[in-house]
Structure 1
């Protein structure tokens, strides 16, 4: 079974694609290597569905899958090392530097280490590809279509609609109420007109976007602001695309009949569309402050008094650079029972099969324990279990799958 490995492959290829666009990655000469990793892992991922569909048990094939699994772990090590070093740099006085690969510029030993790891892993993946060709795996049509029509950056884009099956527990309700209270509170005594920024901070997959959607759609928010704007910030935007998307999200007309490519015209149009209006802006999945500082801050400064910005980000350093209201809201992991409720919502097809799912709660709790309280991981497991029979044997197979990380 390759389900867990497939989920891991999706995560790794997405993160590598984002890192390959980093300006510093290009400067230190590892951008091409990271791109190669992303492409190779993406291509190999296409074979996993066929491995699962054919239920191959041949030892040589299982060995090949094991090699691929270890290669993906090495890729996650590279991603994690870059972000770890970046976070360490964030603890220094130079807090404005947020690029995950910036530490390489400051420490040639780190740059050499990262470059060597990437080179060796690419060579390893070349060998894995060659071995895989001997098994004549098929790239299933659905996976090939997905590869040609979607990109990791597209997959990462979010919208303001909330998936009801992804909301569980009283904790998210409490967090929503607390954030709404902060966002709608009048800033007594503050005559500076300063735009108040509120930050939701947490690791990937912890539920920052879901909480942001809950806040965005809250009735109290609806009645307090003239304009509500949801922007999903990916790292591959251009200034024209970002400004055009923002103007459209506000509900205004684009200059030049929608064909304007001049940044100055778009900035002016954005300013006019928001001028003197009390707005609530959400910037989801903010990795650095470039989108805000370089493109959005100036036109949004013309908004009306009482306007608010809510950001979701993985890094405290981004919240600090945005001068967010302190303390930042850190999202906690799911409690076991809330995680079980979330898993149930993912696998239930109707109330009539709830009793049979409840009979599997003991195995389900062991599965979600391996998810470490991360809602995204629980949802991935829910999607995997949906494809299985609701039997102890099938759920036990998922629990005992040797593809689990660690």
Structure 2
């Protein structure tokens, strides 16, 4: 179950990363909720290996995996629903532009009512799913799991703290201004061999939200040959991060390759190219 589940979890996280700044999502006003959903899913994903191993002998873990699986199937459906409803709203918006006939006024009013209802329905579904996944992550089974990497990835664990929830305080014009300012700084520093920016602050100021918006900025997307968003858990290893970057860059590697071999492949992949990575 966990192997299929891991593929589903990865798929959902990738879908969320790809659509979170789409116009179809922005018109719904649910981007913050979807970012939170992505963060929660990524957090749980790192503990699936341990859950898979323990589920063979522990029925409680097996039940927990079943609950997570059901939630992920619902997440996949809700992501598709949000995209579909958002695209429909965009279509309705284009049809309800001011015109010369009274028909346009009627259509505009109808579209407005549909827009409010749709936003509410989709928002409620996403927030309900977020609460459901939050409860799954608070289950005593999850709290007992360990971040075990597949064979060959568990060497030299390091410890760091990373935010596991999306902060909501940075919104509206404030986050748009901050995003534009940092994107401009990144583009100015692009010509340097290496340029780093850190988004720092106390919990709740909107660091993760801001980083996600910067990463998905259309101007930034078109300015770099390669990009990688890395969601790093509290326990991680250098070899795990290297493999994750190579996977994001679609570079093939063997599970038994050493750190030096992986570094060599990464160097070859980015030689003569510009790349942007965001670690959260």
TM band (smaller chain):
0.3 to 0.5
Q: Report which structure shows greater RCO (CA 8 Å, sep ≥6).
A: 2
- TM-score, normalised via structure 2 length: 0.45
Structure whose CA Rg is larger? 1
* TM-score computed with the length of structure 1 as normaliser: 0.32
